[in-house]
Amino acid sequence: MRLKVFIWGCYWQGNFGDDLMAVIIGRKIKSMGHDVVVFRLPAELAIKYELTSVSSAIEGVSSADVVVLGGGAFLKESVGLLRRLISKASVEIENEISVLANLIESKGTPVISVSIGSDGVSSFSDVAPSRKKIITSKNFIGGTYRLPSDELFFNHTSVSGRMKHYPDVLFGTYESDVLSKPVESKLSSKKRCIGVNVSHRHSDLAKELVRWSKKEGVDIDFVLTHSVESGINSEYGSRGALEGNVFRNYDPVKFALELDKYDAIISVKLHLGLVSLMRGCKFFTYNPRGKTRNQLNEIGLSKYLDTASSPKEYVQQLSSWLEAPYQLSSEKKDILVEGALAQFSYIEHLLGLVGKSG
């Protein structure tokens, strides 16, 4: 049965990982023969990648047969007072989730998750109320999650048996119909190039890396995962890099393809790191967030979790990392890719259940 599928995610922030998931998940479900509408995906991306975008959850849910939670850290704690004061984006996200939860409840629309996970929350009781309301709703029929440790969050639902773990959907990036496979080898004679993605509060590290790069003959780009249109300028280089080039996300697919040029990426962010790995780069963290730390532990790359106490110590650590063979084997990559792609067969099965019940 052809379904009307409304894909919900934080797609209005111009964020590389979220927007890439929207494109990949949207096109994959569309290829199954369903009509797909994506929540607040920028119009130019929707047109380019042949998806339909709507600006309100009311519009999306009102005509949908099923809502798909389209990837990302959906299991998060409530926004505290201080964060409410300093982060309008966090408040807007929670407001949108509250609207979505109420619409799902009032309309009785089935909900499926694709590659969702937790971030910075250790127990189900700490998950924000609106997020918890959706996951525990009788309308939530199952889906996929990205880390084995996230299983505990779904033990509190009536469909825990229909929640399955698969590797993060972006591990399957280069098997998407809009992305080509990466170049498998880089010429050793080429000048080394490193992409650095850190926040302005880590400017001391950025400056230390620039000093190190000049000494070692390494090119440094400051990588910005948020688009200009997002208005988010928390990343170092978004207000003008003091030294070094800037590589900015204007289109998540093109951005992903161009990550091939780097030998390594340094970032706190999960999805920039995962896609970089799949594009043949080394991924090193600096002050990683909980979800990034958990993912690297899961795939056997805990060695590359930052343990430095200062920028100078980090640069010394980085030098040793760069010289040593990277620990993610091609065999392990293949397993992650196959697992990430396999989840869509399960999502197709769940959509089939919705069709039969309708």
Instruction: Return the domain boundaries, the chain.
Output: 4-171+338-357, 193-327
pLDDT confidence of residue 189? 43
pLDDT confidence of residue 188? 46
Give the distance, in angstroms, between the CA of residue 246 and the centroid of all CA atoms in the same chain.
Answer: 21
pLDDT confidence of residue 158? 83
pLDDT confidence of residue 241? 60
Residues 163-194 have pLDDT tens digits of 999 999 999 987 888 887 775 555 444 568 99
Nearest one of 16, 39, 188, 156 to 99, comparing CA atoms: 39
The fold adopted by the segment(s) 193-327 is Rossmann fold (3.40.50)
Cα-trace Rg, the chain? 20
pLDDT confidence of residue 118? 94
Q: How far apart are CA 56 and CA 53, in angstroms?
A: 9
- Residue 70's DSSP bridge partners are 114
Q: How far apart are CA 354 and CA 23, in angstroms?
A: 22
pLDDT confidence of residue 74? 96
This prediction's pTM: 0.94
Strand-by-strand arrangement of the 52-54 sheet: 52-54, 35-39, 4-8, 66-75, 111-118, 140-145, 163-165
- Under a CB-based contact definition with an 8 Å cutoff, are residues 96 and 90 in contact? no
Residues 109-142 have pLDDT tens digits of 999 999 999 998 988 889 999 999 999 999 999 9
86 Cβ contact list (under 8 Å, min separation 6): none
Q: How far apart are CA 196 and CA 207, in angstroms?
A: 11
CATH number assigned to the domain with residue range 4-171+338-357, chosen from the 4 options 1.20.1070, 1.10.3470, 3.40.50, 1.20.1300: 3.40.50
Are 4-171+338-357 and 193-327 equal in CATH topology?
A: yes
- Residue 282's DSSP bridge partners are 264
Q: Which two tokens stand for residue 118?
A: 């937790």
Question: Within the chain, which residues score under 50 in pLDDT?
Answer: 82, 85, 187-189
104 Cβ contact list (under 8 Å, min separation 6): 61, 67, 111, 134, 137, 139
